[in-house]
Structure 1
Amino acid sequence: MATIYASDMTIAHMVDARTPKGPMSDWDTAAWRLIDHPREPRSGPKIANLFAVSWLDVKAHFKRHAPGQYKVQWKVNLDTSSSSAAVVGTEFRAGVVHKGDEEGRNSAVVFRPASLQEFMQHTDRPNSIPALPKTMGQLMALQAQPGYDQDVQGFFTLTLPGEVHISEADNGVVVQIQNHQDNRKTGLQIEHVQLVRVA
């Protein structure tokens, strides 16, 4: 099993957590920030926290890998009641990188959920609505959604449907989360992505 953490991904509009804070710095207008893990602030990995974007683009490249069949698993969280905009209509893609093709354009797996419920059906918590409300209004909006359970919160695993086949001649796998539609996306948190061998 290979893992790439958020701090090693290419994320559009990411500001590094070491950026000095100042009233007019990029820190204050960052679309994404690397922050301490909410469950393990001292020992856990940094997570990518989405503040707000319209251009959603996250990419990771698994370099050379043993031949075989692999599942792609994202460890993520949706932390506001409006987080569904970050995943509904968003493409979760995995492409094998062939020689001479560094982008993994030949997608082996593409998942584009049409609803939050469809997205959640591919997670380890299929009948829940995982968002952590920050205001009373958000709590009321979540409580109105079927499947919301206030006791089930935090990070969960999204397993993309389908498998990636890696051969001896391939140069790894590129995984991507992409949505360039002109709407505001917020509340997504990313811990890591993994390739899990199944055969």
Structure 2
Amino acid sequence: MCAELSLLCANLGKIKESHLVFDPCVGTASLLLACAHFGAYVGGSDIDSRAFAPRDGASLATCFEQYRLTNRFLDVMIGDISHPCFRAFPLFDAVICDPPYGVREDPRTCRRDELFLKYSESKLPSHPSLTLISNSEDPLTFRWSRRLLVMEKTSEYEENGTDLPEALSSYYNSFRLNIFSKVGAIEKEIKI
């Protein structure tokens, strides 16, 4: 994500000095850098370990060094957001992320006329403890755009004892297996 949009996201997220911010899809950490710029302590996770691999001597930590924000960078870890590793109590002041594109739907499984459906608010993610306070469009091309959603926690989440719906759980499991099989193949190629 570009620096300007990352700063805008951090601003919309009301990130302040000493906030604790988590990004579950950290990637290149552009959102974490923007949040650290506003004084937050930041950390995150990503399902793909390649996001953390140093390239040409640079790593996520060196990005924070470049902007003199190392005192705000906690750490990152390999993690799967469909299987949270945190206890069920309030921990973060904000969760901010730019999810990977193309994860929701494999175009090969859609009919061509289904690929270009009109935008509908009914398809936006929702949660009983969150209220949508901003919904902005970021045009990428003439035909494609992405949405910037800002949600605010309005009530404490109460576990109802149910797991993810079976279809959603199946989707996350197949996505996770796909990612880890690719990582395993790459590790074998480079003999890690």
TM-score (norm 1): 0.29
**Bigger radius of gyration among the two:** 2
Structure with greater proportional helix content:
2
Structure with greater proportional strand content:
1
Larger RCO (CA under 8 A, 6+ residues apart): 1
TM-score (norm 2): 0.30
